[in-house]
Chains A and B, each alone.
Chain A
Amino acid sequence: MSRIATPGDLVKLRDRLNAKRNAKATWLAVCAGTGCRACGAMALADKFEEEIEKRGIGDKVGVRRTGCHGLCERGPMVMVQPAGESYFGIHPENVPAVLDQVETGKGDVEQFRYLDEEGGKRVSKLSDVPFYKHQNRVLLENNLWGDASSIEDYIALGGYSALAKALTEMTPDAVLNEVKEAKLRGRGGGGFLAGRKWESVRKAEGEPKYVIVNADEGDPGAFMDGSLLEGTPHSVLEGLILGAYAIGAAEGFIYVRQEYPLARKHAQLAIDQAREYGLLGEDILGSNFSFDVKIHRGAGAFVSGESSALMSAIEGHVGEPRPKYVHTSEKGVWGKPSCLNNVETWANVPHIINKGAAWFKGMGTAESTGTKIFSLVGKVKNTGLVEVPMGITLRDIIFKIGGGVPAGKQFKAVQTGGPSGGVVPEALLDLPVDFDELTKVGSMMGSGGMIVMDTNTCMVDTARYYIRFLAHESCGKCVPCREGTRQMLNILDRIASGEGREDDLGLLEELAEFMQAASLCALGQSAPNPVASTLKYFRDEYEEHIREKRCRAGVCTALIAYEIDQSKCKSCGACQRACPAGAIDKGGKDGKVFTVVQEKCIKCGACFSACPDKFNAVTKVPALSIKR
């Protein structure tokens, strides 16, 4: 492939590529996101190709390995394009059935269609599956239709047309104004107006200027940024190039988290391809504008996602934050003006340039425009990646799209905003998803992690989980954060192990106030949120732990014990075989049934999971009820 020298060449290339894509009547889009890969999607795609060749239908049917389709719960999945039919839970042995269906319409595929529990009917089209029906997929659309590692697919789908438009029809100021006008807010958590940040970097003195993609995605329950970069890396890259043009930057970085090897690989591939096609490098599309990008791998530290810390990591130093009075937009990487935005923020830019600010503002609320991607996980039926217009209610996301909590359990709370966020109880579920609304109730939008919790989730344990994470991740540079998180963890450990004291809750609140006020960076300032919000909405659970030594969710291991109901045990031995600690013996009723030897029990729950449902003899009981 030679360079694309002009915007006209790009249009011609797109026509050629589309003709190539259309030459095959059918494409099988196999989801090859990390989640489906973990369930064997790559072997599935290989099998499709093998079977297609065997049947000699390679001129009619092709295979694409695409980005994440979203409904991870039902993977591996394949979508038949362009018709839009989708099959879920497909494994290599089901490949002939799908191809029969493609070839003759008579394949035995009914069982792989989505089962709509409400209507009891099978749904054939992806767009009719409830999970998808209520979404508004703008950024994630390419994940469905293009091969994740192909620049050709991206161009065929309209990719780089925004760049061509900007470079030929728009001045840098016009690009900047469009983004300002769209009121695009940063998707990395803070919700800062992207246009305003761009403007200050543009105006700041110093050359060269840098633009940076934050793909550190430190929130431990979120994978939106990884999936975008992995599934449609060129849209992030195109956004970055547009930003560089608007800001006047000549060099960019993509800072990718170490734990995302696939995202890194695809991002590198995208950079190499774009360079080869003349979309990066010198004199892009004959416009005189030059720009290039490098990847920088993170080395695993949550705080490195913070803007000043990230920049010092790029310089090769320890990724510790700096005080906020030095703005990175003026003095960032190597002391030069630098513009850092989140992956999703950048990915929005090509759409805004293509379709205009008015279109963008048509989605969402007045102050939170556009769409937002969430990773909807935890105790929810449809685990996956969802993109919704801002302003949609939490209830709609969790129940309409997510299908609610799995059968037999009850919804308790949803956690948003990652370690800096908080929990939102049932009563507030009609809250619109909007930067400002979520902050008002003590949580925050965050980058898009959304963890659904049911009655089997303990709120003390949840707070403890986040504080343990933060205490570990605190860089230790400032005292309020380092000592604050440590002391909070001590107190929470105490409460969770049944040693809590009456005044502990007051102490937690005091610590929270102090950390919020005195910490150096947002990590410490927001660290108390998980504690504060659980205390606010679920104080009774804390009190139960302290006063009654009871964990109603059965999670805090020190407060529970496993027991075998002597009357229900049928001596099948499943629990004994499962126990890694040798803590189960036949000490029950005349030596005939099993019992748990409490002294040896490590409370791993293996017996509980192993006991067949039909017996249900292993139970969790409060530890206090066990006589030692």
Chain B
Amino acid sequence: MDVNETAPPSDARAVVLVIDADKSFVKTCRQALEGEGYKIIVSPSGKQGLEAAKAEAPGVVLLDWKAADPSDIAGFDLLDELVDVNSDIVPVVATADATVDAAVEAMKMGVFDFLSKPVSPEKLLETVRQAVGISEMQREAETKEEKADKYDLLLEGLDVLGEAYSIGLEKRQFLDDLARLENVAKSNAASRGEAKTREEAIAEIHDDLLDADAIMWNYDFQKNALIQILLDVQEKFRWLPRHILNWISGRLNIPLKDILVIANFYEAFSTEPRGRHTIQVCTGTACHVRGATETLTRVSAALGIQPGETDAKQRFTLETVHCLGCCALAPVVQIGSQYYRDPSQSQLAKLINSLEGAGGAEEATTGKEA
């Protein structure tokens, strides 16, 4: 491939990032590649390399398997993070530590080539050329994929329709069910006050249902594992959303009302959305005789919600719990994985504030708990 020919539009793709503290290797890179029109960026550490990957969007990255500085990010972890920054990046490893195991491992992680140092300039150029080629192909494929055209979709639609007929599902019913799911998706997004595009809302419910399937899968879709499945759903979503219960009801062929009976019977389940943080006040007997009632009144006043309630912004849920098994700390309050013996008013205020900070950040990055 002639790089110069495609230079203007694919300028970014011709960028090669070298994450290596090894000076002689860096020199080889410059000699072998710069003359051929590639733009070389050098970062002596993994951390700086990540920054550079964000700023410069290189198509190919050359990295050593081992870091010079043990506290630096390297190897697997570095690869992971690089891929997070840009999933199209094509990684090439060049290392003096080239064991077969490491090579196998690296290839499994999608490394394009594994070179043993010292590398000759010819070999280096050859490898980088191929890697850049791959990187360009990937990008092209992706732009195509991003804008699936109507005619491709029709083909896929025919496929789906055919399959629906093959299991005796009428088009009308199929479309109704689909529409229902879409409505749930939209109303879910709306009820959280989040302005989502239709596509986003649908992608979200799609993920939710996949999560529910993964949970049921663990129990071989057995009816009698219902309680265990619901416990996992509760853990994953922090409550039992109705659309998930409907889905489970369909998948396991259990009437929704039977599922709701169980959801309402057991303490562990919540059919209302819950806060990102749960504050538990132990009201076991030992805590009770040591003043848990007063503690609960104070915590409730500090949070501004009653036991069992979640605040309007879904930050906190206040709960009572019977015996956490650390009676020596009575009366005890559990926040996250931490236990506090009868926290004072100022301690509580501080704790709540620190959670709020964490909650805010979480909200900003993911919007919901992963």
Contacts and interface: CB of A to CB of B under 8 A. Distances in A.
Interface of A: 34-35, 37-39, 72-73, 75, 217-223, 226-227, 258-260, 296-302, 304, 313, 315-319, 375, 377-379, 383-384, 415, 418, 449, 451, 453, 457, 462, 465, 469, 475, 557, 577-581, 602-606, 609-610
A164 B252 CA distance: 42
Interface of B: 223-228, 230-231, 261-262, 265-269, 283-286, 288-291, 293-295, 297-298, 301-302, 321-330, 332, 339, 342, 344-346
Contacts of B345: 577-580, 606, 610
Given A220-B285, A379-B289, A379-B290, 11 more contacts: A218-B322, A219-B285, A220-B283, A221-B327, A299-B231, A319-B265, A378-B286, A378-B327, A449-B285, A462-B289, A580-B298
A581 B323 CA distance: 28
A222 B322 CA distance: 10
A227 B285 CA distance: 17
10 smallest beta-carbon distances between A and B, as pairs: A221-B285, A300-B267, A299-B266, A72-B328, A377-B286, A580-B301, A38-B339, A316-B224, A223-B325, A220-B322
B226 to A, nearest CB: 4
Nearest to B224: A316
Contacts of A222: 323
Contact of A220 (B228, B302, B323, B329): B323
Contact of B286 (A38, A383, A606): A383
B325 A260 contact: yes
A393 to B, nearest CB: 22
Given A315-B224, A378-B285, A605-B291, A75 B301 contact: no
Contacts of B326: 34-35, 37-38, 72, 223
Contacts of B302: 580
A221 B284 contact: yes
Contacts of A38: 324, 326, 329, 332, 339
A141 B366 CA distance: 47
Given A316-B227, A580-B302, A226 B325 contact: yes
A578 B298 CA distance: 10
A175 B368 CA distance: 55
B346 A297 contact: no
A384 B328 contact: yes
A520 to B, nearest CB: 16
22 contacts: A38-B326, A38-B339, A39-B329, A72-B326, A219-B285, A220-B323, A221-B285, A221-B288, A222-B323, A259-B323, A300-B268, A313-B227, A316-B227, A377-B330, A378-B330, A462-B289, A578-B345, A579-B345, A580-B345, A603-B297, A606-B345, A609-B342
Contacts of A378: 285-286, 289-290, 327, 330
A424 to B, nearest CB: 15
Given A222-B323, A259-B323, A316-B224, A451 B328 contact: no
Contacts of B290: 378-379
Contacts of A296: 228
Nearest to B232: A297
B289 A383 contact: no
B106 to A, nearest CB: 31
B301 A602 contact: yes
A449 B329 CA distance: 16
B327 A383 contact: yes
B327 A602 contact: no
Nearest to A578: B345
Nearest to A217: B323
Given A259-B321, A577-B346, A465 B285 contact: yes
A396 B328 CA distance: 20
B298 A259 contact: no
A259 B324 contact: yes
A258 B328 contact: no
A605 B297 CA distance: 9
Contact of B323 (A223, A316, A475): A223
A351 B326 CA distance: 28
A222 to B, nearest CB: 7
Contact of B284 (A220, A299, A301): A220
Nearest to A318: B265
B322 A299 contact: no
Contacts of A302: 322
Contacts of B266: 299-301, 304, 319
A223 B287 CA distance: 13
A578 B262 CA distance: 42
A557 B325 CA distance: 27
Contact of A604 (B301, B323, B328): B301
A604 B228 CA distance: 38
Nearest to B230: A299
Contact of B325 (A227, A316, A415): A227
Nearest to A261: B337
A45 to B, nearest CB: 16
A316 B268 contact: no
Nearest to A74: B328
A109 to B, nearest CB: 22
B327 A35 contact: yes
A304 B286 CA distance: 22
Q: Which of A220, A222, A605 lies at the interface centre, i.e. has the most chain B CB atoms within 10 A of its CB? A: A220
A604 B297 contact: yes
A302 B344 CA distance: 31
A316 B226 contact: yes
Contacts of B322: 218, 220, 259, 302, 469
B39 to A, nearest CB: 46
Contacts of B298: 580, 604-606
A316 B223 contact: yes
A19 B159 CA distance: 66
Contacts of B230: 299
Nearest to A71: B328
A72 B327 contact: yes
Contacts of A475: 265
B293 A557 contact: yes
Contacts of A379: 289-290
Contacts of B293: 557
A605 B285 contact: no
A221 B286 contact: yes
Contacts of A577: 345-346
A594 to B, nearest CB: 15
Given A38-B329, A72-B328, A300-B268, A602 B297 contact: yes
B135 to A, nearest CB: 44
